[in-house]
Chain A
Amino acid sequence: DQQVKQNSPSLSVQEGRISILNCDYTNSMFDYFLWYKKYPAEGPTFLISISSIKDKNEDGRFTVFLNKSAKHLSLHIVPSQPGDSAVYFCAANAGGTSYGKLTFGQGTILTVHP
């Protein structure tokens, strides 16, 4: 039972353009969402999070959008840079914080071409 799904295994984008990574969830109890970036041979690095009381959160080049009715969130990276090339995971939790069990999607490999 995959409660968090990233349906695109990979995404290729030109440098300077927008990257949009998508994530869907099925568990209505999830109310806190995070995006992590992972380079090979490293642990996941936190990027940005959003609580279900918001529908948008921005941090520099990264913006996360949450559509609760559709149970869908997306990460926008603008402008994309070659250093953004990595695996991106979305994660979800119930309880309004990141404290406790995070349920992860399977990841999307982003490649940003110079």
Chain B
Amino acid sequence: SAVISQKPSRDICQRGTSLTIQCQVDSQVTMMFWYRQQPGQSLTLIATANQGSEATYESGFVIDKFPISRPNLTFSTLTVSNMSPEDSSIYLCSVYGTGSTDTQYFGPGTRLTVL
């Protein structure tokens, strides 16, 4: 299984500011995914991060609000821009199973609170 780390683990931010979340994987992976879990809700896919190309966003999510970078096969960032209290969520990155495992593995998440 892949070992995934995220930074920061949590943060409290002011309305109108931006936060960049980092996701690091211990092995090269083709696809990385960014999910959001709002309070009391299920996990929802924000976008798929491809190395060397633009991220693919799900309906309801736009690049201006959630810009994503994927500079190499082990790293990605998600920025939450111009934050409002509605952005308070847990943000998680995941990777498609490395090797022969057909599974998505998740990072520990970043708990974001916007005041």
Interface residues of A (CB under 8 A from B): 4, 34, 36, 41-46, 49, 89, 91, 97-102, 104-107
Interface residues of B (CB under 8 A from A): 1, 4, 9, 31, 33, 40-45, 48, 58, 92, 94, 96-97, 102-109, 111
Contact B103–A98 (Cβ < 8 Å): yes
Contact B43–A44 (Cβ < 8 Å): yes
Contact flag A34-B41 (CB < 8 Å), given A41-B108, A99-B31, A101-B58: no
A49 is contacted by which of B58, B102, B105, B108 (Cβ under 8 Å)?
A: B102
In the assembled complex, which residues on chain B have CB atoms less than 8 Å from the CB atom of A105?
Answer: 42
- Report the nearest B residue to A5, measured CB to CB: B42
B48 is contacted by which of A43, A89, A91, A100 (Cβ under 8 Å)?
A: A100
B43 is contacted by which of A42, A49, A99, A102 (Cβ under 8 Å)?
A: A102
Contact flag A43-B108 (CB < 8 Å), given A49-B103, A100-B48: yes
Contact B41–A43 (Cβ < 8 Å): no
Contact A46–B103 (Cβ < 8 Å): yes
11 additional contacts (CB under 8 A) given A34-B103, A97-B102: A36-B106, A43-B106, A44-B43, A49-B102, A89-B42, A89-B43, A98-B97, A102-B94, A104-B42, A104-B44, A106-B41
* A89→B43 CA distance, assembly (Å): 9
* A97→B102 CA distance, assembly (Å): 6
Contact flag A43-B42 (CB < 8 Å), given A98-B97, A99-B31: no
* A50→B111 CA distance, assembly (Å): 30
- Report the nearest A residue to B107, measured CB to CB: A43
* A4→B45 CA distance, assembly (Å): 14
Q: Pick 20 A–B contacts, CB within 8 A, sort by A.
A: A41-B9, A41-B108, A41-B109, A43-B4, A43-B92, A43-B107, A44-B92, A44-B106, A46-B1, A49-B102, A91-B43, A98-B103, A99-B31, A100-B31, A100-B48, A104-B42, A104-B44, A105-B42, A106-B42, A107-B42
* A43→B96 CA distance, assembly (Å): 15
* A107→B38 CA distance, assembly (Å): 13
